[in-house]
Amino acid sequence: MIVVTGAAGFIGSCMVKRLNDAGYQDVLAVDDFSRPDKARNLEGKQLWGQMHRLNFVRWLERNHTDVDAVIHLGARTDTTEQNVEIFNELNLEYSRALWMICSGFDIPLLYASSAATYGLGELGYADDHATIPHLRPLNPYGQSKQDFDVWALEQINPSYAKASAGKNPSIVNRQSPTTWAGFKFFNVYGPNEYHKGRMASVIFHTARQIKLTGEMKLFRSHRPDYQDGAQSRDFIYVKDVVDVLLYFLENKPSNGIYNLGTGQARTFLDLATGTFRALDLEPHISFVDTPADIRDTYQYFTQAEMGKLRAAGYNEPFIGLEEGIEDYVQRYLKEEVLW
């Protein structure tokens, strides 16, 4: 049995779909299932069952012999949320509990980190374990992902704790799953994200705005070194993300924390223009101020260094931005179809 946490969410439901397509039918979907609007994401999926996240840790302890791997994608992902305790509970402590159980019973564990851990990119975007403890995220969400990454590294080598300034080593019986990997997701877009609201991808919001108004408003630049719309991110199609996770599940490359982007930054202007073209429309783009609550922590550039993933043996090409937008818009967004 393969367990997917966050299974009713965006990436989680796409992971279940990819597993089904690869022949995995006994998949346990773990989530809180408290939002009826997310239930659609699991319609038509082949599942062994569903389980509330609060019941899963105890269930895993008792039924570990039935589990072949855990793909941990469940998390609070709102970058505007400022309540640190929410992130400590949902993103840090819960992940630690799963890690310890998977370690104790030798269950392979794949988990989601985030490119939000890189902050403003002062140290670049290399997924080098020696650099990771020095990263400085810009918001509580990114910090929660950073804290777990560093904690995971401490379990394989206590010296990583010394590199994390101002933090004491976690007092645990250090151990790690024989097979584990964390993935710093960059800007993921694609089907099944309709429920994410403000946190959905710019492609999703562009298509929706175009349908309603015929135009798209992008955030204005508040930095003199970036023109409006030239803010750049490493956008990766969710189908590539789940392909990589499936590769690690089946091939078990070297343990560690990996970037998961395309390695190619593209501008928001490119993205919006591509969305108009996928809808067979001429671009009509204007700019508005970045909301004050995220302006000071807004990333203007991200680009994953992908050498480590390639060295792990994943050689498939990533879907280009224009191709990904066309697939997403024409196959899913136009008719509000799920994957």
Question: Which residue of the set 24, 125, 141, 189 is catalytic?
Answer: 141
Q: Of 255, 214, 219, 226, nearest to 99 (Cα)?
A: 255
Any catalytic annotation for residue 300? no
- Measure Cα distances from 135 to 61, 163, 186, 273, 291 in Å: 33, 10, 15, 33, 25
Any catalytic annotation for residue 141? yes
> What is the distance in angstroms between the CA of the first residue and the CA of the last residue of the chain?
22
CA distance linking residue 37 with residue 14, whole number of Å: 16
How deeply is 277 buried, as exposed, middle or buried, from its count of CB atoms within 10 A (0-12, 13-18, 19+)?
middle
CA dihedral 146, 152, 153, 159 (to 10 degrees): 100
Helix (H, G, I), strand (E, B) or coil at 30: strand
Which DSSP state fits 288? E
CA distance linking residue 66 with residue 207, whole number of Å: 43
Q: How many CB atoms lie within 10 A of CB 199?
A: 15
Question: Which residue of the set 167, 196, 217, 252 is catalytic?
Answer: 196
Sign of CA dihedral 253, 6, 96, 160: positive
Question: Taking CA 60 as the corner, what is the angle to CA 57 and CA 62, rounded to the nearest 5 degrees?
Answer: 115
CA dihedral 332, 245, 114, 144 (to 10 degrees): 120
Q: Are 173 and 96 in contact (CB under 8 A)?
A: no
CA distance linking residue 243 with residue 319, whole number of Å: 11
Q: Of 245, 213, 224, nearest to 7 (Cα)?
A: 245
DSSP secondary structure string, 207-275? Answer: HHHHHHHS-EEEEPP-STTS-TT--EE-EEEHHHHHHHHHHHHHH----EEEEES-S--EEHHHHHHHH
Give the residue numbers marked as catalytic.
Answer: 141, 196
